[in-house]
Chains A and B, each alone.
Chain A
Amino acid sequence: MFALLKRDLYLALYSSSSFFYTSSFFVLVLVILPFLFGTNDVQLQVLFKGIIWIGLSLSILLTMERIFNADYEDGNLDIILQQNPSIEVIIISKYITHWVVYCLPLFIVLPILSFLFYVSLDSFFLIFLNLFFGSLGMVFIVTFVSALTLGAKRTIFLKAIIVIPLFVPFLIFGTNLESWPILLALSMMSFVLSMYVSAYGLRLYVE
């Protein structure tokens, strides 16, 4: 597992634009808000709680092609499958890499954005917890959709249609600051579902 994890992290490092693009996208989605709704403190705080989830959802959704499809299309998936006897190990490694590469940068810029949107320290802490648990569940969801649609070309819209409804519970509970335990529970359920369905998707490819 560690070899695959290291390989995926090196791949992200070599394609360093990955880090930059997703965090820039996230920042831009948030920064355009004051231009649309003005700079009223209270209004911005309310908007911030919702719009960070839109930013996070779009960042995760737009990068889902890179979980399995990129390796499938260039043939690297065969090497990965040959070198790793357990499909479950491959899936767990992909969860970790995808979260580290595409979600972690968002958490790095989050304190600065919270400051810009006049978010109090207490609220920031709860938003951070919500986003952390929610982002895990969202990564689990896009991973299994990515595995199930392996080999299907130019299907980002189809994938979005499958993924967005599954994101809705995270968005509903994510905007409530006290609901991190629910998001944790949702993520745990997503993990169980994702492990099973992702393994099925990869086995379909192998078979």
Chain B
Amino acid sequence: MNELKIEDLTCYRGENLVLKDLNTKIKSGETLVIRGSNGSGKTTLLRVLSNFIKSYNGKILFNDQNVLEDSNYRYFFNFVGQKNSLKDNLSVKNNLKLWEIIYQKNISYSKLLEDFNLLHLMERDVASLSDGQKKCISLLRLNFTESKIWYLDEPFVFLDDENSQTLIQKIKNFNTNNGIVIITSNINLQNIFTNEIKI
């Protein structure tokens, strides 16, 4: 059983107080939705949790160990931000190849693309894809690591109903396998994921 605990988290960006005395915890098999208006600090919170931002007050504990002191923490999570991490001038296949190298994991591209019914896009240049298609491909990065936590920053933006359902199913499957998911969202997802905090 894994547990992620946020204790008295306060974070400044420049002189602006973005996160103030945030406390919450989340266990294996749960999904937490972070809601808030634009600029409320949702992305900052995910970047803090992912250790990209290290200057903050308070503690983030994963299985009672401070994530700032745990050199293995980076292997435990997968972060998919709002940027797609795709090279526009390359084909989808070549982008997957680059991820395969950096994540050092061999994976079947066809099987991967079938997740979102994107097999027909394999040889297409990323520049020619729609924003929704790019978003789906960026979400395929979740398959490249055996992580215990997924941090997803606005994952439903640009997705149509069918792909949103596919993503929801992937999140639920990950929860079933004891994974922890933290999602930021502008839209109300309470009818799907009940665990929600507002910042």
Chain A interfacial positions (CB closer than 8 Å to B): 3-4, 6-7, 10-11, 14-15, 70, 73-76, 78-83, 85, 206-207
CA distance A200 to B43 in the complex (A): 23
The reply to whether A76 and B101 contact each other, CB–CB distance below 8 Å, is no
Q: Which of A10, A73, A80, A81 contacts B97 (CB 8 A)?
A: A10
B81 touches A (CB below 8 Å) = yes
Q: Which of A4, A6, A70, A78 contacts B81 (CB 8 A)?
A: A78
The reply to whether B98 and A11 contact each other, CB–CB distance below 8 Å, is yes
- Interface of B: prevailing SS: loop
Q: B53 — which chain A residues lie within 8 A by C-beta?
A: 206-207
* B24-32, B82-90, B107-115, B185-193 - the one binding chain A: B82-90
B74 touches A (CB below 8 Å) = yes
Would you give the 0/1 interface string for B87-129, flagging 1 where the beta carbon is closer than 8 Å to chain A?
1111000100111011110000000000000000000000000
B133 touches A (CB below 8 Å) = no
The reply to whether B102 and A3 contact each other, CB–CB distance below 8 Å, is yes
Given contacts A10-B98, A81-B52, contact A15 B89 (CB under 8 A): yes
- Residues of B in contact, count (CB < 8 Å): 28
The reply to whether A78 and B101 contact each other, CB–CB distance below 8 Å, is no
Chain B interfacial positions (CB closer than 8 Å to A): 50, 52-55, 71, 74, 79, 81-90, 94, 97-99, 101-104, 138, 141
The reply to whether A75 and B89 contact each other, CB–CB distance below 8 Å, is no
Q: A207 — which chain B residues lie within 8 A by C-beta?
A: 53-55
Q: A10 — which chain B residues lie within 8 A by C-beta?
A: 94, 97-98, 101
Complex: chain A residue closest to B89, CB-CB: A15
CA distance A4 to B102 in the complex (A): 6
The reply to whether B74 and A76 contact each other, CB–CB distance below 8 Å, is no
The reply to whether B88 and A74 contact each other, CB–CB distance below 8 Å, is yes
The reply to whether A83 and B102 contact each other, CB–CB distance below 8 Å, is yes
Q: B85 — which chain A residues lie within 8 A by C-beta?
A: 74-76, 78-79
Write the nearest CB–CB distance from A73 to chain B, whole angstroms: 8
The reply to whether B86 and A74 contact each other, CB–CB distance below 8 Å, is yes
CA distance A79 to B100 in the complex (A): 12
Complex: chain A residue closest to B72, CB-CB: A85
Residue among B86, B98, B138 with the most chain A CB within 10 A? B98
Given contacts A74-B84, A74-B87, contact A82 B50 (CB under 8 A): yes
Residue among A6, A7, A15, A79 with the most chain B CB within 10 A? A79
Other than A10-B98, A74-B86, give 8 A-B pairs with Cβ distance below 8 A: A14-B90, A14-B94, A70-B87, A73-B83, A74-B87, A75-B82, A78-B85, A206-B54
Closest 4 A-B residue pairs measured CB to CB? A75-B83, A75-B85, A7-B101, A14-B94
